Structure 1
């Protein structure tokens, strides 16, 4: 049985585990002290990083948020364990991004940055070198996905769409660390300085919608992805787990682990 690691066990991690045959993979899940989620028989919980590394999983999937990337991923890569990073917004911290890049250059394990709930990133990477390239990314979700944020602001988007945020990818990632990893995926592809991010609560939205508009000397392009929300978390697209499963499967193939 192949041993794989997880950091966290929330909505995304559950989707990842359920996508693989339970009799073919044993999972080691690193959880914070006090966490007690219901775990299937093929998932074993540990509460210390050294226990996860000591289990020598063939690869690790991070699905616990930006703080988890900073706290755990560098050491896992240094231990030679390939890692898929779901919370790529953590890389808006230049010190962390440089540290991970340095580890990889010095022979550390591969770090995979999946597309998550998006597509079209290959186009953005292609135009990134053009000095006139400009990209606008818009996250458009139903008001139910932003209940806490709307309540804090004393606002309602019951009848008309409401823009909650407009700014840079760094600002967006820090303002919404659990919800705008997609924005930083766009920024990594196109270049941070070329991207503007908007967050909109839209009562007409039928799902979690990602809109990308790009202009450059190469032409114009627009992408729109309307993703069904995860069943138990309206802020997360169900596609996110599917994207991570695909990234993990590709990593296992590249590493010759299956």
Structure 2
């Protein structure tokens, strides 16, 4: 990896991403944008996973963009996509979006798409915690008629979500449906848990026609993602059992790995 990379945020996904990038290059060029007053904490957290002392960590967007990153990975949540996405694209960087659910906001989606087209840049949606996106996106070019997604996580992984208002998560002892609806509604209600649903929607039938079920499941310690699709060209059923990130049980370890893959592909000679 020789091209400069920018990262927005320094939470669990950003830390995992830095660790992967450091393992792929002896001298990666990484800059990090954080909230004002968080620079010291970010340097300590990211330094612990290998970020060099000389790496730029700043809360100033202009200083961050002045490092001229070829690609910027957003790892800071829905608000960061709206706050920084267009400016990143206008500065000439591609944008990899971890918080895919933010794109359920139709106005934001249209704005990012318009700016990316005008700047000849790309907004990249990584596969995240799910697989099979390639076959879904290909099926979208045929007569795709159905996409249904089910996400299962341990009850504790739903802490801090609307599920707490309806269920005592500490007492859930059988698999319990906590949400059923469209991918758009899931992304809006569960912004930290429904990025997979949003990714499937963008690859397939869209936010309003992708059906989503979210389950608090005490029988598993993993994050289980399943989807089915039907089209005139192919029918498929995909299941992935993602191991939760040690830093954040709401996130699968594969999320950061897929973002790293998207970043590394921007400069790879052969892309898979």
Scaled by the length of structure 2, what TM-score is found? 0.87
Residue 183 of structure 2 is aligned with which of 158, 163, 169? 169
Unaligned runs of 5+ in 1: none
**Displacement of 1:220:** 2.9
**Displacement of 1:152:** 3.1
**Within 1, Cα distance between the matches of 2:195 and 2:92?**
25
Work out whether residues 3 and 267 of structure 2, in 8 Å CA contact, stay in contact via their aligned partners in 1. no
| 1:16 aligned residue | 17
CA-to-aligned-CA distance 1:140-163 (integer Å, 9 cap, x gap): 001121133454334345321111
RMSD: 2.1
* SS in structure 2 of the partner of residue 183 of structure 1: helix
| 1:57 aligned residue | 69
Work out whether residues 2 and 24 of structure 1, in 8 Å CA contact, stay in contact via their aligned partners in 2. no
* SS in structure 1 of the partner of residue 17 of structure 2: helix
**Displacement of 1:181:** 0.9
* SS in structure 2 of the partner of residue 252 of structure 1: coil
* SS in structure 2 of the partner of residue 18 of structure 1: helix
| 1:133 aligned residue | 145
Instruction: Please identify, of 48-57 and 237-246, the stretch whose mean Cα deviation from structure 2 is larger.
Output: 48-57
The answer on 1:84 being equivalent to 2:96 is: yes
CA-to-aligned-CA distance 1:4-54 (integer Å, 9 cap, x gap): 211001111111111123741132111012322323152431112111112
Unaligned runs of 5+ in 2: none
Moved beyond 4 Å, runs of 4+: 129-132
The answer on 1:101 being equivalent to 2:117 is: no
Pairs aligned (count):
256
* SS in structure 2 of the partner of residue 171 of structure 1: helix
Residue 228 of structure 2 is aligned with which of 213, 232, 241? 213
| 2:165 aligned residue | 152
CA-to-aligned-CA distance 1:39-89 (integer Å, 9 cap, x gap): 315243111211111221232111111110111011111111122111121
**Within 2, Cα distance between the matches of 1:70 and 1:145?**
25
The answer on 1:237 being equivalent to 2:244 is: no
**Displacement of 1:219:** 4.7
**Within 2, Cα distance between the matches of 1:151 and 1:134?**
30
| 1:6 aligned residue | 7
Scaled by the length of structure 1, what TM-score is found? 0.91
CA-to-aligned-CA distance 1:189-217 (integer Å, 9 cap, x gap): 11124310111000112310001022333
**Within 2, Cα distance between the matches of 1:111 and 1:57?**
14
Work out whether residues 79 and 108 of structure 1, in 8 Å CA contact, stay in contact via their aligned partners in 2. no
CA distance change for structure 1 residues 147 and 95 in 2, over 3 Å: closer, same or farther?
closer
